[in-house]
Amino acid sequence: MEAAGDAEAPSGTTTARRWWWIAVAGVAAVALVAGAVAWVDRSPARRPPAPPPVQARLIEPAVVTRPVPPPVPARTTIATITGAIPYFASAGGNQVGTVPIDSWWGVTKQLPVIATRPGWLEVRLPQRPNGLTGWIHAGDAQLSSTIYGILVVLHTRRVELYRAGRMVASFPAGIGTPTDPTPVGHFYVMRIESSPSPGWGPFIVDTNAHSEAILSWEGSGDAFTAFHGPLGADAEIGTTGAPISHGCIRMHNPDLAQLAPVPPGAPVVIDA
């Protein structure tokens, strides 16, 4: 009986054990899945790939283009005066001198006007020092105007003729030497005189630019810068100009002749 019982027991036990192992396996599977899920939850989140670094780029500031004023004015007002009239330090200020009337300038002069106030004109004056200006009574002057002007560029050794603010011609020039340099600054045509000989060209254009190296040219009492002919130095002037003078501007005669429209009082700018 016990043998038979022992034979039947393994069958039930085996079935129970099978279900037990299935349950254990199921629990293990659930635990494994839960562990996997927990591991996934604990793993660091994946980040999207970083974008490539942005290259630094220098932003250029905007360039503002402004019109460049011409080196000589497009139009100049000219004050014609007669006699030794007084000039003043300012409009309505103290008198500081009189306009000279000796043999260099004559009695009547044409002076460029550079500023105005009611009843007053600021003008360039003919005497030393270079750049001297003064205020005169507007009632002492007769006004006119010109659209011509001259620019001398020393480093290129050129004379440029301007009309209404635009360059209309350019010429090579003989300029002052290093020991007798051509003065630099804002000046004007003081007078136009006849040439004493053909070497001086068709005429001579005197300016109020005084030499800074020569006080009296050949005993004349002053030393002015003038535009005149080559005095036999055509070859030296050539097409590029040359430092050959005592400060005056030497030009080929045909080139000098083209300055004929420029009147007394017209601006002359001499630039380094």
- Cβ proximity of 261 and 249 under 8 Å: no
**pLDDT tens per residue, range 65-119:** 444 566 899 999 999 999 999 999 999 999 999 999 977 778 999 999 999 999 9
241 assigned to some structural domain:
yes
Higher pLDDT, 8 or 189: 189
Question: In degrees rounded to 5, what are phi and psi of residue 21?
Answer: -65, -35
Q: Is 224 among the domain residues?
A: yes
What spatial distance separates the first Cα and last Cα of the chain, rounded to whole Å? 140
> Could you tell me if residue 233 is inside a domain?
yes
Residues 117 and 173 in one domain: no
Can you give the pTM of this predicted structure? Answer: 0.75
Q: What pLDDT does residue 260 have?
A: 98
Q: Identify whether the C-beta of residue 177 lies closer than 8 Å to the C-beta of residue 95.
A: no
Q: How far lies 237's CA from each of 54, 176, 253, in Å?
A: 60, 12, 11
pLDDT in tens, 111-159: 999 999 999 999 999 999 999 999 999 999 999 999 999 999 999 999 9
Structurally, the chain folds into a number of domains equal to 2
pLDDT category of residue 270 using cuts at 50, 70 and 90: very high
- Which of the four pLDDT bands, split at 50, 70 and 90, describes residue 47? very low
Confidence of residue 200 (pLDDT cuts 50, 70, 90): very high
pLDDT digits (tens, 9 = 90+) for 6-45: 333 344 444 444 444 444 444 444 443 344 333 333 434 4
- Of 46, 33, 127, the closest CA to residue 87 belongs to 127
In terms of domains, do 157 and 267 share one? Answer: yes
Whole domain around residue 104: which residue ranges? 76-146
CATH of the domain at 180: 2.40.440.10
Residues 244 and 267 in one domain: yes
Residues 267 and 152 in one domain: yes
Q: How far is CA 200 from CA 183, 210, 229, in A?
A: 20, 19, 4
Show the 3-state SS of the chain.
CHHHHHHHHHHHHHHHHHHHHHHHHHHHHHHHHHHHHHHHHHCCCCCCCCCCCCCCCCCCCCCCCCCCCCCCCCCEEEEEEECCCEEECCCCCCEEEECCCCCCCCCEEEEEEEEEECCEEEEECCCCCCCCEEEEEHHHCEEEEECEEEEEECCCCEEEEEECCEEEEEEECEEECCCCCCCCEEEEEEEEECCCCHHHCCCEEEEEEECCCCCCHHHCCCCEEEEECCCCCHHHHCCCCEEEECCCEECCHHHHHCCCCCCCCCEEEEEC
182 inside domain: yes
For 57-68, the pLDDT digits (tens) are: 444 444 444 445
Q: Is residue 5 scored above 90 in pLDDT?
A: no
Please state, in angstroms and rounded to a whole number, the distance separating the CA atoms of residues 20 and 158: 116
Tell me, yes or no, whether 123 lies in a domain.
yes
- CATH number, residue 82: 2.30.30
